[in-house]
Structure 1
């Protein structure tokens, strides 16, 4: 994966996002909700890179490009309608969710697929088996992974304001805004901690061979898809996630 993203930058990713957004018809508003959120978050990561928030900015950029590609490739496959190249199940369920759901629900469905399913794969794409054997280097990779939390947490209030501007929040939602924002920051931290665990599990499977890796990745796909039911349940979903958790955990092999 590292070689595949060599020479590409977050600006290239943002250009690709812009092209997809501009070509997306109005009736696909739910897909636009997540893509626009992700585009704003990607810009925030680029700003954090510019002011030196990470220990290894070149690695973070390569990782973020690889990460974005997993989502954008799934979105392209969905938009093309090519039945021979379907998105992974967590993305299919997110894309096929009822269009009249509030934008927040569509964003959460996208976050589930992208963080719980895509992110461990993206990390493996830019952390070699030799890197995993180097405790000092791996520690640096993990710290930069955790620093993304600060970027995401800083976006919570702004993204909540975006949803409010769309006029799709109920009076109860507005009353719960401070609690929902705190819950969002909490479940993002919790999910990313579980992502690191799942990345290590997948790496052990990768060392064991392609068949073992395929089995473990399939397990992760099932776990991530199963979270959809929680995200579609009635009630205050963010408060529920703050208690029950958002991430998924691969059991030991």
Structure 2
């Protein structure tokens, strides 16, 4: 395990122990995230990725965005960005799978495009060979996540007992749906990263407008997941991810 990822795993493990001691519902998503991070580390160790150094930087940057949001929430529940405020503010009695679903949604839709933008410098977006490598490694993460779905279902069943409709996303009958939704959302993430990159090139005002759109769309999707009713049906209609358009629209901000 690379040193930066090992340090990340240690930090997450210590925090998880603290959340478990206090019964904080954030422990459910963090536990899933910790196990996924270990799976990514194992992939790094066995040479799964084309550019292990880049994946390591990305893995750490991405995780730190969640950890920073959680720290902000614990200090002041009104402090995190909108998607995380809604996710962390969900009913503590929601079943474990519900908390995991909300955390995954906020982290993938809102944090992941920003993280990719942070670890892919502007010049790499104009280098097709480099960008293709980044895209392929991004896709390999999808495989890691897909392979975790069954194991996470077992972990969460042990943690949670009976289930609500929201919680059924990760039951055995819906594992294929979970994999499909994850892949769909991450495809949208890659597209959204391109939109934000175009916005970044046009200037801080355009980028700020794109980021505000991303926050609003991601927050609305969390709200959609929290509404009573058939969550799986809504996901089938609207998808798990969100799509940006405004950031490159004419007149969306100063160039």
Give the structure-1-normalised TM-score: 0.90
Q: Which runs of 5+ in 2 are unaligned?
A: 250-255
Question: Contact 1:180–1:239 (CA<8 Å) still a contact in 2?
Answer: no
Q: CA deviation at 1:72?
A: 0.3
Q: CA deviation at 1:153?
A: 0.2
Question: Within 1, Cα distance between the matches of 2:230 and 2:40?
Answer: 29
Q: Deviations over 1:15-38 (max 9, x none)?
A: 111222222365543201011110
Runs (4+) of structure 1 moved beyond 4 Å? 25-28, 171-174
1:162 corresponds to 2:180: no
Q: How does 1:74-113 map to 2 (within 5 A)?
A: 74-81=69-76, 86-113=79-106
Q: CA deviation at 1:81?
A: 2.6
Question: Within 1, Cα distance between the matches of 2:117 and 2:241?
Answer: 18
Q: Deviations over 1:166-190 (max 9, x none)?
A: 243349878x933311110000000
Question: Within 2, Cα distance between the matches of 1:167 and 1:126?
Answer: 36
Question: Contact 2:87–2:106 (CA<8 Å) still a contact in 1?
Answer: yes
Q: Deviations over 1:176-213 (max 9, x none)?
A: 93331111000000000000000000001111111211
Q: How does 1:29-68 map to 2 (within 5 A)?
A: 29-68=24-63
Q: Which residue of 1 aligns with 2:121?
A: 128
Q: How does 1:111-122 map to 2 (within 5 A)?
A: 111-122=104-115
Task: Give secondary structure in 2 for the equivalent of 1:24.
Answer: helix
Question: Contact 1:202–1:217 (CA<8 Å) still a contact in 2?
Answer: yes
Question: Contact 2:182–2:240 (CA<8 Å) still a contact in 1?
Answer: yes
Query: Are the structure 2 counterparts of residues 171 and 89 from structure 1 closer, same or farther at C-alpha, using a change threshold of 3 Å?
Result: closer
Question: Within 2, Cα distance between the matches of 1:26 and 1:122?
Answer: 30
Find the partner of 1:223 among 213, 217, 223: 217
Give the structure-2-normalised TM-score: 0.89
Query: Are the structure 2 counterparts of residues 181 and 224 from structure 1 closer, same or farther at C-alpha, using a change threshold of 3 Å?
Result: same
RMSD: 2.1
Task: Give secondary structure in 2 for the equivalent of 1:166.
Answer: helix
1:151 corresponds to 2:121: no
Question: Contact 2:188–2:242 (CA<8 Å) still a contact in 1?
Answer: yes
Q: CA deviation at 1:250?
A: 0.2
Q: Which runs of 5+ in 1 are unaligned?
A: 1-6
